[in-house]
């Protein structure tokens, strides 16, 4: 699983060192990762072949010509870059993805289990705060529902 959060500096050629743990997880048919614009957030999403296969599975469940299928194909497949690791374990991010998400200097790489995201440092700080609040509120609501279910089941 892709775990933890790392701050990395993007060099003048848009290269970043991918954490060793992430490189080991992405090992597969080629020595690198798949990256594309995230559908759910303003960042780059990436992962190894299992993530690519997962998205392909979702896409292939939809009928050819379905507007959602076309949207996913355009967003994921059309935006995808296959990025190989160099000898130093770096990937070079495409200029279009860097421009899309304002990646210029320091970036944050966030492990999310079967995938990871690459954020601009400032954007991630705001996103992390919002996600933490959502998790806090969501967990409290879930616990309240569980308490009600336990009490209701005892009557």
Ordered by where they begin, the domains of the chain are: 5-121 (3.40.1550.20)
- Beta-sheet pairing, 90-92 with 106-111: unpaired
Taking the CB of residue 45, how many other CB atoms lie within 10 A of it? 22
The model's pLDDT over 32-83, given as tens digits with 9 standing for 90+, comes to: 899 999 999 999 999 988 889 999 999 999 999 999 999 999 999 999 999 9
What pLDDT score was predicted for residue 29?
Answer: 65
Nearest to 80 by CA among 94, 66, 68: 94
What pLDDT score was predicted for residue 152?
Answer: 77
Q: How far apart are CA 123 and CA 135, in angstroms?
A: 18
- Sequence-distant (≥ 6) Cβ neighbours of residue 112 within 8 angstroms: 2
> E strand or H helix at 150, and its extent?
helix 121-153
Taking the CB of residue 89, how many other CB atoms lie within 10 A of it? 14
pLDDT at 4 over 90: yes
The model's pLDDT over 104-128, given as tens digits with 9 standing for 90+, comes to: 999 999 999 999 999 999 999 999 9
pTM for this structure? 0.87
Strands (E), 22-120: 32-37, 44-47, 81-84, 90-92, 106-111, 116-120
Whether residue 92 contacts residue 22, with contact meaning beta carbons closer than 8 Å, is answered with no
């Amino acid at each position: 699983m892709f775990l933890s959060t790392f701050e990395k500096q993007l060099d003048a050629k848009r290269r970043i060192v991918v954490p060793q743990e992430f490189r080991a997880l992405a090992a597969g048919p080629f020595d690198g990762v798949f990256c594309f614009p995230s559908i759910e957030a303003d960042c780059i999403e990436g992962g190894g072949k299992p993530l690519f296969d997962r998205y392909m599975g979702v896409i292939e469940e939809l009928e050819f010509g379905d507007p959602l299928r076309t949207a996913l194909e355009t967003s994921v497949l059309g935006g995808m870059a296959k990025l190989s690791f160099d000898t130093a374990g770096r990937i070079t991010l495409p200029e279009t993805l860097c421009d899309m998400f304002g990646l210029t200097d320091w970036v944050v790489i966030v492990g999310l289990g079967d995938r990871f995201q690459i954020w601009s440092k400032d954007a991630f700080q705001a996103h992390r705060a919002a996600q933490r609040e959502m998790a806090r509120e969501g967990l409290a609501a879930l616990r309240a529902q569980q308490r009600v279910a336990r009490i209701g089941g005892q009557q």
